[in-house]
Structure 1
């Protein structure tokens, strides 16, 4: 009987912790929905992709604050994705989640990083695009399947080679 009560207590504490995390996530999403405008939808007439790579969409955070994940409008969930560069911008095509568009004129910087929003690696294995959305500057992180394409992405996005 004592073991059963202890087990029920542990399960109840675990459920309480999960409930608290869920409430915090929702509260953060509500607060961010006021501060962060909706992400741009992918345009229909984007043309042919210049570069394309597959991997994992890691997160979008406030620029320079790599632990402040943007969770509003479903952007906080990591998952498989494709990244495509077009003349007009970058498409982040997330599998099973809404994709979004980063307009070319909004991109401030392209670089590699070691970590972002709970995903930390020992090497610069994240491709990070810094861009403006309204008055907010964001970092979008992508972990590609082939890290060798990062220099090409950085050069193309920064405008070193014309698209």
Structure 2
């Protein structure tokens, strides 16, 4: 065999090794987050009246609140997806390509703009972030879910949404967040 073939074999093996490590890391993260929540709230039969939306765009991902890089790997929050966000009097519904996420108004804390979330950065506060809470075996977890809308002119109306949930502070979560700890 020539040196070019050996070089190609080594490059392919290194690539496959890195890919295997990435898959292993994602699975370990999913396993370590098992205590964040058992299941997400189901969409109720009666969601209430439409307040805002539907807003089309891209679901960026979700993180543990206060750390814009602590990406949640568990389904359906773990992967980016095209989606539609709709606000109802009963909560927010996020329709993704393969799932629907319901954020009850009683669990919603705030909606704001951010420039970074889930290892994605965009200029000028281009991500609409909903902070909400979910109960699980490890207690109540605050989650930041990000959505990059096709029409960013509607962001001020979305930011006016307020939920009913009182903020909770976990021992491992900073109590104050400054533009997501840049």
Q: Same fold (TM over 0.5)?
A: yes
- Structure 1 or 2: larger helix share? 1
Please say if residues 37 and 133 of structure 1, whose CA atoms lie closer than 8 Å, have aligned partners that are also in contact. no
Q: What value does the CA root-mean-square deviation take over the aligned residues?
A: 1.4
- TM-score normalised to structure 1 length: 0.92
How many residue pairs are counted as aligned between the two chains?
158
Q: Render the CA deviation track for 1:56-98: whole Å, top value 9, x for unaligned.
A: 0001100011101111123210010000000100001002x21
Does residue 152 (structure 1) correspond to residue 157 (structure 2)? The answer is yes
* Distance in 2, Cα, partners of 1:56 & 1:75: 13
Counterpart for residue 74 of structure 1: 76
Structure 1 runs not aligned, ≥5 long: none
Please say if residues 64 and 141 of structure 2, whose CA atoms lie closer than 8 Å, have aligned partners that are also in contact. yes
Please say if residues 79 and 94 of structure 1, whose CA atoms lie closer than 8 Å, have aligned partners that are also in contact. yes
Structure 2 runs not aligned, ≥5 long: 165-182
Q: Render the CA deviation track for 1:31-56: whole Å, top value 9, x for unaligned.
A: 11223332112222214422110100
Does residue 137 (structure 1) correspond to residue 142 (structure 2)? The answer is yes
- TM-score normalised to structure 2 length: 0.82
Does residue 6 (structure 1) correspond to residue 11 (structure 2)? The answer is no
* Distance in 2, Cα, partners of 1:118 & 1:25: 14
